[in-house]
Amino acid sequence: MELSKIVANQVLIIFGLVMVGFFLARMKKLTEKGAKEMTTVLLSVVTPCVLITSYEKPFNVSEVKNLGIAAAFALFLHIFAIVLSTVVFKRQKDENHRRINTYASIYSNCGFMAIPLLSAALGNQGVFFGSMYLAVFTPLYWTHGIYLYTGGNKREISLKKGFINPGVIGTVVSMVLFFSGFWFKAYPAPLNAGIGVIKSVIGYIASLNTPLAMLVLGYYLSEINFAACLKKPVIYAVCFMRLLIIPLSCVFAAKIINIPPDVAKAIIIPAACPVANITTLFAAKYNLDANYASELVSVSTVLSVITIPLVVMSFGL
């Protein structure tokens, strides 16, 4: 139960940071342009630095094995979510909302919200294993996600963006440094000092992840009319899928398959996160209902303050 308390505390801290962004936006101190620029910095620079920092450890065979288990478990969970969400929303009459609802149920905010939570609750070890969830998530949302949003238009699918992007590149660089033992080799004094400076720079940049990500989330929450969107029953159905059904299935599978606890915790937390921000961006890009997608992101983010600790608690932690 100790971990669930830590996670609950960290979720409240994160929500507090989100509220700072919310009020800054309401007071016109944080604009759409500023939020977009911070998002670019987060995705292109900060997230890769967080990943590199989490892989800054001596090479260990048992950890490599667990890293593989984490990748396989994350892939299994995404496939399960794709199948389940496709079946659940298959008969929805509104085609645009059907695509958005299916996408929103499958893909979590594992970059913006999970990494800060993993770092705070589980430390670098949590980010180390949790990075595999991000490594599976990124190619899938650029391929299956676009296929879903475009109604099966394969021409829109970008394998290049799926595999050549800051998240995947950051993971690959991190793994190369980990497997090569780069950080722990003996170097001449001047080179060693230079590497120390580089590590410090990377560490400082990585520490920006939580506050910047939550300020951006706060901005997008400020743009939503909660009174209106809370009257839409389908929003609750999507949130139920994204925040409870899929992550609780992850918990059940972890127990049945007997996934190592450290690995299970690092995958369960990103699986329990709210609807991904990219849901809104893709809806706008492909001329679907971007306002509705924003409502899903916002409502699920607020509800996740309650559901994430509950999901972690259900694992008996």
In the chain, what is the greatest distance between 2 CA atoms, to the nearest angstrom? 67
pLDDT greater than 70 at residue 162: no
One-character DSSP codes across 85-133: HHHHTTT-S-HHHHHHHHHHHH-B-IIIIIHHHHHHHHHHHHHHHHHHH
Give the chain's domains with CATH numbers. 2-314 (1.20.1530.20)
Determine the 3-state secondary structure of 315 from DSSP. Answer: coil
pLDDT greater than 90 at residue 101: yes
What is the token pair recorded at 179?
Answer: 């497997």
pLDDT greater than 70 at residue 191: yes
Confidence of residue 178 (pLDDT cuts 50, 70, 90): confident
Percent of the chain with pLDDT strictly greater than 70: 95
Contact (CB, 8 A) for 20 and 26 = no
Angle between helices 290-314 and 261-271 (to 10 degrees): 150
Which is nearest to 147 in space by CA: 191, 190, 86, 68? 86
pLDDT greater than 90 at residue 98: yes
* Average pLDDT, integer, range 75-83: 95
pLDDT tens string 1-18: 566 777 778 888 888 888
Encoded amino acid at 11, one letter: V
Determine the 3-state secondary structure of 82 from DSSP. Answer: helix
* 160 or 140, higher pLDDT: 140
pLDDT tens string 286-296: 888 888 888 89
Q: The pTM is what?
A: 0.84
What is the token pair recorded at 160?
Answer: 């290049």
Contact (CB, 8 A) for 303 and 113 = no
pLDDT greater than 60 at residue 230: yes
Most confident of 5-14, 220-229, 266-275, 301-310: 266-275
Contact (CB, 8 A) for 117 and 58 = no
* Average pLDDT, integer, range 139-161: 78
